[in-house]
Amino acid sequence: MKDALRHLDGVLPRFAKISDLAELRAAVEEVGLPAVVKPTGASGSKGIFELRAPEDLDAAMERLSQIARPDFDPVFKQFGAEFIVEEFLEGDELSVEGFVSGGEVHIVTITDKVTSVPFHLELEHKVPSALPADARAEVSATTKDIVGALEFDNCAFHLEAKWGDRGLRFIEIAGRPAGDYIGSHLVPLATGVNYFENVVRVAAGEELRLEHDRQLNAGLRFVLAERAGRFEGADGLEGIGEDPGFDHVFHEVPAGTEVALPPENFGQQRVVAVIARHVTREGLEALLGRVTTEASARISPVDGRAE
């Protein structure tokens, strides 16, 4: 995908494909530090390693050689131990949600994101983005160039990028609906656009219905397990549930599930998702802030393995 976008000046981070430590060392000479090394064929932020100093390279490759195997996660069946090292992109993280129909690119909204430190699990999403109008226009224009260059058509797309001093810098794009409750909940709550109806429409060759009938702010905050062990339930959700600004509380895993944290496991740290909406962005941030301060995961030790 990145090879097909090389002509878009300044949009791609410096990058190289690598498969072992020697290749990573050589690539970092070109790409520079800080950098990120990650599997080419995974998803869900499985195996994202920041490289900040030369000594981080060995540790990251050792971990990645354990992670990028089908017995660790079946997602690695297809590409296995193939990695990409990229210049570390600074800036505000965002995603662009849209559709392409008959070659025409339609942007529904831009989502602001927060990811966890240091493994970059997605932690918070807010729709629409609070970027100023000129920045949003540039994000939209570059997104159209990217979707056009990749010749996506008759599908939804979800593009991930960072916005910084040098404009939009590309992370990845997929010809599929946005996950993480963005398509299912945040877009409809904030804009009135029925996202999944349009996923079906675009697949069936029907006209899209993308008129916004409201201008609200909708957001999601995940509650993370702070340590490995048995998830017993979430505390602090009762008060949150009383407030009309909160639309949904989802349990990502049932109480009683054994959870683990990255880098041992990349798919179990998020235990609860809370969705809120407000007329103002500040109001939405206050609601999501309450999730951070009031809600927490109750974790008990498992057979002496976790503390």
Residue number, 50 or 172, with CB nearest to Mg ion: 172
45 is an interface residue for ligand ATP by CB under 6 A = yes
167 is an interface residue for ligand ATP by CB under 6 A = no
CB of 239 to Mg ion, least distance (A): 33
| Cβ-based neighbour number of residue 88 at 10 Å | 15
Report the interface residues with Mg ion, using CB under 5 A.
Answer: 160, 172
CB contact at 8 A, 39 and 83: yes
- Partner whose footprint covers residue 240, from Mg ion, ligand ATP, none (CB < 5 to 8 Å by kind): none
278 is an interface residue for ligand ATP by CB under 6 A = no
- Core vs surface per residue 211-234: b (16+ CB within 10 A) or e: eeeeebbbbbbbbbbeebbbbeeb
Residue number, 170 or 231, with CB nearest to Mg ion: 170
112 is an interface residue for ligand ATP by CB under 6 A = no
Q: How far apart are CA 262 and CA 127, in angstroms?
A: 27
**Where on the phi/psi map is residue 230: left (φ > 0), alpha (ψ -120 to 50), or beta?**
beta
Residue number, 57 or 173, with CB nearest to Mg ion: 173
CB of 121 to Mg ion, least distance (A): 11
Residue number, 176 or 305, with CB nearest to ligand ATP: 176
Paired sense of beta strands 92-101 and 35-39, if any: unpaired
88 is an interface residue for ligand ATP by CB under 6 A = yes
Which position's Cβ is nearest Mg ion? Answer: 160
- Partner whose footprint covers residue 38, from Mg ion, ligand ATP, none (CB < 5 to 8 Å by kind): ligand ATP
Q: How far apart are CA 6 and CA 12, in angstroms?
A: 7
Structure tokens at 104: 């025409």
Q: How far is CA 290 from CA 221, 222, 294, 296, in A?
A: 10, 12, 6, 11
| Footprint of ligand ATP (CB under 6 A) | 13, 36, 38, 42-46, 48, 86, 88-89, 93, 115, 120, 122, 160, 171-172
